[in-house]
């Protein structure tokens, strides 16, 4: 049932509700997975803190859901509280004639943040054009595209502690950013907002940036599937894992291409994309179980051929044991 279990009134706003038994398949890019036992969409910091307190009182595991672009949810759903932040306020402040800081709530669509910047003659973030996700999810994984990492642009962030509800402002070093990693992975703190360093520029340079954005999006659409996928399913190997000097050998897609799974290997309606060997596509009726079985086959084939086992970059949500 989708009934409101709990609510707290806030001045000038609708009562904040924590709902029960909410479907998640329509809230992630794979379009698979079961229901959330509890679900809420805080619109401000106080509602966010209230949701955390609710989870603490009821002994619930918490999952922070953005646009669901890098996750696979169990067919059994998530037996805890799903928090889907709706903190979407964006502001900016000029630091000089050439620099500015832009601050966005964790629920802000990252592509909408890029649009906001370009509309206000601000550049830098367009390097991440076409990548789905929210500000919260982007900071969580240290969003990256080729040589660009989001950590390079972060100035500070507002976070909240899971147990105490204490809100803190932290600098980039706090996150211990790495490839697809940050302190947020410990799930003791959650992002409320983030502030990025951007460049204030001319109308001509903005026109160039808009063109670059469109070219990046066109390039991504040609190379990658744009729906029914989580993006790259496996992370690239670390240099010490492959023990080779050839840099291309850290790329997991190199091995997946070699074993010939692209557009061929399939379980149910889950298939390896014909565009990219490290991307799986739901053709329409795949289950999360189908996707897991397919990725297990991919892991085994790479291991049999090369003696190394790909590890998931995609977050696995609601699984009682890690199937990979």
Distance CA 68, CA 185 (A): 16
Please tell me whether residues 216 and 141 are part of one structural domain: yes
Mean pLDDT, rounded, for 13-26: 89
Please tell me whether residues 111 and 206 are part of one structural domain: yes
What are 163-186's pLDDT values in tens digits? 999 999 999 999 999 988 899 999
Range in 5-14, 78-87, 120-129, 169-178 with the lowest mean pLDDT: 5-14
Q: What is the DSSP letter of 10?
A: -
Mean pLDDT, rounded, for 255-280: 96
Residue 228 counted as domain residue: no
CATH number of 270's domain = 3.90.78.10
Please tell me whether residues 215 and 151 are part of one structural domain: yes
Please tell me whether residues 45 and 76 are part of one structural domain: yes
Please tell me whether residues 188 and 145 are part of one structural domain: yes
Residue 230 counted as domain residue: no
Residue 170 counted as domain residue: yes
What are 212-239's pLDDT values in tens digits? 999 999 998 888 998 899 999 999 998 8
Residue 231 counted as domain residue: no
The total number of structural domains that make up the chain: 3
Q: Scan for tokens 């340079």, then name that residue.
A: 205
pLDDT at residue number 169: 98
Please tell me whether residues 169 and 245 are part of one structural domain: no
Residue 243 counted as domain residue: yes
pLDDT at residue number 90: 98
pLDDT at residue number 241: 86
CATH number of 57's domain = 3.30.43.10
Percent of the chain with pLDDT over 90: 84
pLDDT at residue number 248: 64
Please tell me whether residues 99 and 219 are part of one structural domain: yes
Give residue 242's pLDDT band: very low, low, confident or very high (50, 70, 90). confident
Is 105's pLDDT higher than 90? yes
Q: Which of 83, 110, 134 is the last residue of a domain?
A: 83
CATH number of 137's domain = 3.30.465.10
Q: Which pTM was predicted? A: 0.91
Is 321's pLDDT higher than 70? yes
Give residue 204's pLDDT band: very low, low, confident or very high (50, 70, 90). very high
Query: Which of 246, 279, 277, 251 lies closest to 262 in space, CA to CA?
Result: 277
pLDDT at residue number 180: 83
Q: Strand pairing of 35-40 and 16-23? A: antiparallel
Please tell me whether residues 204 and 96 are part of one structural domain: yes
What are 299-309's pLDDT values in tens digits? 999 999 999 99
Is 4's pLDDT higher than 80? no
Residue 176 counted as domain residue: yes
Mean pLDDT of the chain: 93
Please tell me whether residues 246 and 207 are part of one structural domain: no
Structural domain of 42: 4-83
Residues 6+ apart with CB under 8 A from 243: none
Distance CA 202, CA 209 (A): 10
Give residue 47's pLDDT band: very low, low, confident or very high (50, 70, 90). very high
Please tell me whether residues 140 and 212 are part of one structural domain: yes
Is 297's pLDDT higher than 70? yes
Residue 95 counted as domain residue: yes
Distance CA 204, CA 195 (A): 25
Give residue 6's pLDDT band: very low, low, confident or very high (50, 70, 90). low
Please tell me whether residues 22 and 56 are part of one structural domain: yes
Give residue 249's pLDDT band: very low, low, confident or very high (50, 70, 90). confident
What are 51-62's pLDDT values in tens digits? 999 999 999 999
Mean pLDDT, rounded, for 273-298: 97
Quickly list H helices, 11-75. 45-57
Q: Which of 173, 196, 223 is the last residue of a domain?
A: 223
Residue 322 counted as domain residue: no
Q: Which of 40, 67, 83 is the last residue of a domain?
A: 83
Please tell me whether residues 214 and 118 are part of one structural domain: yes
């Amino acid at each position: 049932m989708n009934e409101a279990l709990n609510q707290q009134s806030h001045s000038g706003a609708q009562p904040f509700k924590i709902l029960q038994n909410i479907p998640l398949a329509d809230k992630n890019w794979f379009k698979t997975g079961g229901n959330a036992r509890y679900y809420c969409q805080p619109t401000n910091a106080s509602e966010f803190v209230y949701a955390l307190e609710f989870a603490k009182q009821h002994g619930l595991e918490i999952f922070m859901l953005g646009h669901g672009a890098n996750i696979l949810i169990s067919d059994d759903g998530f037996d805890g509280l799903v928090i889907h932040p709706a903190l979407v306020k964006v502001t900016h402040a000029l630091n000089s004639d050439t620099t500015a800081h832009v601050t966005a709530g964790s629920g802000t669509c990252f592509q909408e943040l890029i649009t906001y910047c370009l509309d206000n003659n601000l550049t830098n973030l367009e390097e991440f054009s076409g990548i789905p996700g929210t500000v919260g999810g982007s900071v969580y994984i240290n969003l990256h595209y080729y040589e660009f990492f989001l950590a390079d642009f972060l100035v500070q962030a507002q976070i909240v502690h899971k147990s105490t509800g204490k809100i803190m402002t932290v600098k980039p070093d706090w996150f211990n950013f790495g490839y697809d990693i940050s302190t947020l992975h410990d799930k003791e703190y959650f992002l409320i907002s983030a502030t990025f360093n951007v460049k204030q520029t001319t109308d001509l340079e903005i026109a160039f940036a808009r063109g670059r954005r469109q070219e990046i999006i066109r390039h991504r659409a040609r190379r990658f599937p744009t729906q029914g996928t989580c993006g790259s399913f496996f992370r690239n190997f670390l240099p010490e894992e492959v023990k080779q000097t050839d840099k291309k050998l850290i790329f997991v897609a190199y091995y997946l291409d070699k074993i010939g799974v692209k557009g061929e290997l399939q379980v149910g309606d889950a298939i390896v994309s014909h565009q990219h060997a490290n991307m799986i596509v739901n053709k329409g009726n795949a289950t999360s179980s189908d996707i897991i079985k397919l990725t297990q086959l991919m892991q085994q084939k790479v291991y049999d051929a090369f003696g190394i086992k790909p590890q998931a970059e995609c977050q696995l949500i609601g699984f009682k044991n890690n199937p990979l």
